[in-house]
Amino acid sequence: MTLAAAAAHPGFLSPTGVEIAFLLVGLATFGAAVITVTTKQLVHAALWLVVALGGIAVEYLLLTAEFIAWVQVLIYVGSVVVLLLFGLMLTKAPIGRSPDADSGNRWVAAAVAVTAATALVWVVVDAFRTTWIDLEGPAQGSTDATGEFLFRHWVLPFEALSVLLLAALIGAIVLSRKDRAGTSHREDKR
């Protein structure tokens, strides 16, 4: 069956236009991700993260998941990166190069990452060597389809998630407010 599927599809040597676009955007995304975790300038890391996350949004578009692509742009590029930049500035991150951005065990970390990447890529390529995604037909992640499956089959998790977001909001406020009563209590004890 797998051989028949392999015979019915073109191989690696004749990639389609979507595959070429996916490969090029994927290379840009991976490069931006590598720069994000290796650059010594902290603010540049956040800006390269924008490139990586935007590249992933383009990959979602190429996989016909349009709604998720725009959600990715809105939430990750729009708010998460801004939050990270605010965090960098609030912790007085140096603007220029900071030589101690990486800890001393970076070579161990690199070895672990390369080993994990080798194992994962090998297993994945071996497992899905003869598997093709059929991107023909109507887009599977259009806003129409997304709204239908989200509010027909996933309503309860959706509402539970809104409660979780509320809890996270309150938790962040509690964590970040200055606890004046607690501070004075500690001073009294001292």
175 binds another protein (CB under 8 A): yes
Residue of the chain from 13, 125, 156, 181 that contacts another protein (CB under 8 A): 125
Residue of the chain from 5, 83, 97, 144 that contacts another protein (CB under 8 A): 83
CB of 1 to another protein, least distance (A): 16
Q: How far apart are CA 79 and CA 166, in angstroms?
A: 17
165 binds another protein (CB under 8 A): yes
CB of 79 to another protein, least distance (A): 7
Q: How far apart are CA 171 and CA 177, in angstroms?
A: 10
CB of 51 to another protein, least distance (A): 12
Q: How far apart are CA 39 and CA 98, in angstroms?
A: 9
8 A C-beta contact, residue 42 and residue 26: no
Q: What is the dihedral of CA 81, 85, 91, 97, to 10 degrees?
A: 110
Q: How far apart are CA 101 and CA 185, in angstroms?
A: 37
Residue of the chain from 5, 95, 97, 110 that contacts another protein (CB under 8 A): 110
Name residues whose C-beta falls within 8 Å of residue 18's C-beta, 6 or more positions apart in sequence. 62, 135
Half-sphere exposure of 1 (CA within 13 A, CB side): 1
- Total residues in contact with another protein, by rule CB under 8 A: 92
CB of 97 to another protein, least distance (A): 13
The site string for another protein over 36-55 (x = CB under 8 A, - otherwise) reads xx----x--xx--x--xx--
5 binds another protein (CB under 8 A): no
Residue of the chain from 12, 13, 181, 188 that contacts another protein (CB under 8 A): 12
Residues 134-153 that bind another protein (CB under 8 A): 134-135, 140-141, 145-146, 149-150, 153
Task: Give me 15's structure tokens.
Answer: 């990639």
Residue of the chain from 2, 4, 8, 56 that contacts another protein (CB under 8 A): 56
Phi and psi at 48, nearest 5°, equal -70, -30
91 binds another protein (CB under 8 A): yes
Q: How far apart are CA 44 and CA 46, in angstroms?
A: 5
Residue of the chain from 95, 128, 144, 159 that contacts another protein (CB under 8 A): 128
